[in-house]
Amino acid sequence: MKEIVKELQDMRYLNWTKSRKSSGTAGSFLKAYDDSGAVKKYYKLSDYDPVRGIIGHECVNEIIVQRLLCFLSIDHLSYRLIHALITVDERETETYLCESEDYKQKGESKIAFEDYYAMERKAGQSPLDFCIERGWEKLIYQMLIVDYLVLNRDRHGANIEVLRDAKKKSVHLAPLFDHGLSLVCRCHDSKDLKKFDVMEDRRVQSFIGSGSTLENLRMVPKKMLHKLPDLKEKDIEALFADLDGILRKEYRDKIREMILRRWSSLGDI
């Protein structure tokens, strides 16, 4: 499956609805789905404003973070970036959107981590200890590392999911997903971008740990940080492959700076 589809696709048949607003970000995040085929497909847009149209680049962030997750061999939901003609508020719009497929296997059901934790936790048990008790700590530690590297603002308790299979009596964490509200997602123009400090410890939503990605990173065992591969020039270049004409160079350069500097700081944690 092609990761990026640059040829314009007519997707005006999709019906867009508002999703839960996250992290206090202005605007709306619109989602749609298509269950007409063998596999249900989900779609989402970058930040949308009824007056200005698409004002964000969160869908492109998904692809950049997805490539970073691949480099780190971390289990994650796969996204595809599609150049599409859509209809929103009875107005045709040409944009890039994200497509993903339902990752549940046959017989599985999903539940938000925050709900599963509320039902099953022991008195006084923290979300991290809850995960460690179930043998889920590797993926959680990997999540905390990536959330620091990309400054994920939106790891609330429903952006982590648990998959259950009653017949197999299995319970496990779902692959990581939803990384759009990361990197320089709140920079809507060159002025915002120039002011953005890529190392600032900004307040974020994080159900596991605190509201600081830096403090959450300190919960990760040092030996796990030391085992991370070296990030070479070719690896950085791979994160931005084929994004010319989709994301402006000034944004790519700022994101590059963020990932490199945050990666370099891991040795100091």
| Angle formed by the axes of helices 249-265 and 137-150, nearest 10° | 130
Q: What is the pLDDT of residue 186?
A: 87
User: In the numeric block, which tokens belong to residue 186?
Assistant: 């709140």
Q: For residue 27, how many other CB atoms are within 10 A of its CB?
A: 16
Which residues of the chain register pLDDT less than 70?
A: 19-28
For the entire predicted model, the pTM comes to 0.94
Q: What is the pLDDT of residue 268?
A: 84
- Output b/e per residue, 179-211; b: 16+ Cβ within 10 A: bbbbbbbbbbeeeebeebebeeeeebbbebbee
Q: Determine contact, residues 150/183, Cβ cutoff 8 Å.
A: yes
Q: What is the pLDDT of residue 157?
A: 97
pLDDT tens sequence across 173-212? 999 999 999 999 989 999 999 999 999 999 999 999 999 9
Q: Following CA atoms 49, 5, 16, 10 in sequence, which dihedral angle do they give, to the nearest 10 degrees? A: 110
Q: What is the pLDDT of residue 23?
A: 41
Q: Determine contact, residues 99/79, Cβ cutoff 8 Å.
A: yes
